[in-house]
């Protein structure tokens, strides 16, 4: 009996010891916005469960939202003075007013607005000496920051602390990760997103690309000399290319296939999970629908919608014999058909067998949940990557794309009907879903695996030499310049020789002529 216990005790001690020796300290510093927190928290949780000591930096205004569900993840609170960052950003940029007034809030223009706002926020965060000291004292083995361009100033933090860093994000930025890349293929930050571009799209894309390489369009490299004056100056572009690994919430099924380097890991989306059963009033409402339900939400930030739009939408829904669960801040115009609420269990609803259609602003998290559960989407983008995501969905026939400001009740109803009754959208989405589930088993685990891996082995061995080169070398501009010089020199010499021999002959001819006269 005694022997058994001591054996057990020894086993437990050994396990603890092993876990401790594996336990490295990792600090996540996500952009101070809810939707970014969702995947950073997911990945942080998975990494903590691998036995690491994981800290997540949370701004004061998000603490009460309880975004960090994982008990294993420790919270590092900061920025009481920053206040409600999301609220301030929405107010300062006038994003929603601009949208309803008809402005185009495509990815590039939203990115400019966001970088004006968050450029300031990141500078305030980096100026917070107490916070920086707190992180320094944790002696992190790895710092994780987001690769969204408007937040890139934050890469100065690991640089000034001399800590290796990994980039996690939703955007595969070919400039930051220095992918040998052709501007003839699309990226999100340029307006035309189709897989094949017209000639003028390519011209436009080319100029954007060159501008992004040469200028800090969305971040500010002067932060490096300002906050890390004791270190050699590096541009933010150069610092980014030195990340141990680039982890991107992206895939080749929703997105288009595009070139990547070995230290870029596309993990899919980490927000979907198996649906939990619905409960209470919601369960009853969904259960009692005869022909299925539509789930509609524009995410947590946009729950207040103008009446001219909600009444249009409600009239469109009236033309269908399906029930609707709608995340919106208003009382239902018809409680028999439409259930409204300011919060809904989106993933569980999308995973319900009765769900036929998702009406969405096409944010990344929701789109991955729809893909995972195989539900076609009617996209109504508002700002940023939502336009790109929406055009992609329409292009791949996984749903349709509507401009909610201009679409009429009839047009909205026709689109809803088309997606629900023409089988191709559901079939395409179901096929994409099974392909996705086959290839992307557990995105957060995959991300945690790679972070753990680079803490063990470093990311040097995956880094392409091209990521360390200046652009003129990567794009062989020096070689082209050299060859052009050689060619010009050769042409010049040939020209010179011909000219000399012509002159010489001409001279002789003249002489002959002169003699004859
Ligand atoms: C929902 O429907 C199923 C069968 O379709 C039934 O077994 C279940 O009791 C129903 N639940 C509620 C709460 O109505
Ligand atoms: C919902 O609307 C009411 C009034 O129209 C407002 O007072 C309340 O703050 C809104 N709720 C949310 C979550 O925006």
The residues, ordered by sequence, that sit 6+ positions from 195 with a Cβ below 8 Å of its Cβ are 185, 186, 256, 395
Ligand nearest to the CA of 306: 2
pLDDT of residue 9: 61
Task: Please tell me if the CB atom of residue 304 comes closer than 6 angstroms to any atom of ligand 2.
Answer: yes
Smallest-distance ligand from the CA of 310:
2
Q: Which of the pair, 186 or 430, is modelled with greater confidence?
A: 430
501 lines ligand 2 (CB under 6 A): no
Interval 30-41: pLDDT, tens: 999 988 998 999
Pocket test for ligand 1, best of 287, 289, 323 (most atoms within 8 A of CB): 287
Q: What is the mean pLDDT of residues 419-447?
A: 96
The C-alpha angle with vertex 173 and arms to 394 and 50, in degrees rounded to 5, equals 100
- Which run of H or E residues covers position 56? strand 53-59
Atom of ligand 1 nearest to the CA of 287: 1
Query: Does position 270 have pLDDT exceeding 80, yes or no?
Result: yes
Mean pLDDT is lowest, of 16-25, 37-46, 153-162, 499-508, for 16-25
Sheet holding 53-59, edge to edge: 74-78, 53-59, 25-29, 142-146, 165-169, 246-248, 264-266
Query: pLDDT confidence of 185, banded at 50, 70, 90?
Result: confident
Average pLDDT, the chain: 90
Query: Of the ranges 145-149, 186-190, 371-375, 480-484, which one carries the lowest mean pLDDT score?
Result: 186-190
Residue 342 beta carbon below 6 angstroms from any ligand 2 atom: yes
Tell me what the mean pLDDT of segment 342-353 comes to.
Answer: 96
Average pLDDT estimate for 12-21: 51
pLDDT at 514 over 80: no
Mean per-residue pLDDT, 89-108: 87
Check if the beta carbon of residue 19 is closer than 8 Å to that of residue 52. no
Q: From ligand 1's centre to the CA of 287, what distance in Å?
A: 6
The whole-number average pLDDT for the span 215-219 is: 90
pLDDT value of residue 34: 86
Q: What is the pLDDT of residue 354?
A: 96
Residue 97 Cα to ligand 2 middle (Å): 17
pLDDT tops 50 at residue 1: no
Q: Decide: 329 in ligand 2 pocket, CB within 6 A.
A: yes
Q: How far is CA 484 from CA 21, 123, 157, 489, in A?
A: 58, 44, 43, 8
Query: pLDDT-derived band of residue 422, with 50, 70 and 90 as boundaries?
Result: very high
Quick one: which ligand is closest to 327's CA? 2
Full-model pTM: 0.87
């Amino acid at each position: 009996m005694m022997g058994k216990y001591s054996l057990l005790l020894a086993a437990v001690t050994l396990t603890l010891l092993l876990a401790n020796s594996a336990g490295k300290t990792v600090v996540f510093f996500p952009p101070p916005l809810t939707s970014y927190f969702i995947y950073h928290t997911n990945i942080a949780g998975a990494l903590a469960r691998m036995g690491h000591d994981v800290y997540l930096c949370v701004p004061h205004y998000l603490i009460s939202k309880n975004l960090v569900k994982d008990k294993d993840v420790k919270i590092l609170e900061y920025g009481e003075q920053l206040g409600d960052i999301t609220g301030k950003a929405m107010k300062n940029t006038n994003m929603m007013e601009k949208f309803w007034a008809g402005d185009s809030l495509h990815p590039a223009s939203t990115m400019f607005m966001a970088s004006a706002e968050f450029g300031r926020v990141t500078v305030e965060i980096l100026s917070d000496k107490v916070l920086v000291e707190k992180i320094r004292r944790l002696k992190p083995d790895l710092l994780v920051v987001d690769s969204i361009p408007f937040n890139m100033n934050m890469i100065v933090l690991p640089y000034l602390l001399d800590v290796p860093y990994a980039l996690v994000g939703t955007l595969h930025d070919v400039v930051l990760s220095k992918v040998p890349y052709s501007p003839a293929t699309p990226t999100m930050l340029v307006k035309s997103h189709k897989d094949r571009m017209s000639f003028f799209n390519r011209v436009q894309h080319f100029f954007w690309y060159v501008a992004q390489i040469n200028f800090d369009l969305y971040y500010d490299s002067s932060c490096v000399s300002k906050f890390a004056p004791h270190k050699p100056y590096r541009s933010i572009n150069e610092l980014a290319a030195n990340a141990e690994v680039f982890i991107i919430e992206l895939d080749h099924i929703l997105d288009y296939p595009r070139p990547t380097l070995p230290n870029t890991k596309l993990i899919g989306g980490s927000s979907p999970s198996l649906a939990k059963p619905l409960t209470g009033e919601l369960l009853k409402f969904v259960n009692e629908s005869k022909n299925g339900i539509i789930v509609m939400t524009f995410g947590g930030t946009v729950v207040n919608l103008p009446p001219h739009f909600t009444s249009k939408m409600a009239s469109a829904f009236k033309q269908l014999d399906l029930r609707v669960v709608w995340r919106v801040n208003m009382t239902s115009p018809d409680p028999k058909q439409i259930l409204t609420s300011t919060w809904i269990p989106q993933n569980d609803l999308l995973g319900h067998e009765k769900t036929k259609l998702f009406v969405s602003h096409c944010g990344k998290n929701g789109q991955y949940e729809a893909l995972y559960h195989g539900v076609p989407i009617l996209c109504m983008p508002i700002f940023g990557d939502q336009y790109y995501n929406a055009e992609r969905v329409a292009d791949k026939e996984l749903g349709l794309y509507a401009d909610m400001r201009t679409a009429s009740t009839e047009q909205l109803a026709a689109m809803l009907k088309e997606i629900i009754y023409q089988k191709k959208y559901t079939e395409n989405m179901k096929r994409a879903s099974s392909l996705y589930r086959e290839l992307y088993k557990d995105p957060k685990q995959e991300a945690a695996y790679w972070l753990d891996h680079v803490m063990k082995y470093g990311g040097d061995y995956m880094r392409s030499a091209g990521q360390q080169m200046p652009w003129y070398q990567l794009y062989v501009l020096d070689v082209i310049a050299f060859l052009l010089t050689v060619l010009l020199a050769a042409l010049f010499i040939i020209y010179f020789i011909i000219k000399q021999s012509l002159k010489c002959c001409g001279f002789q001819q003249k002489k002959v002529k002169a003699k004859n006269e």
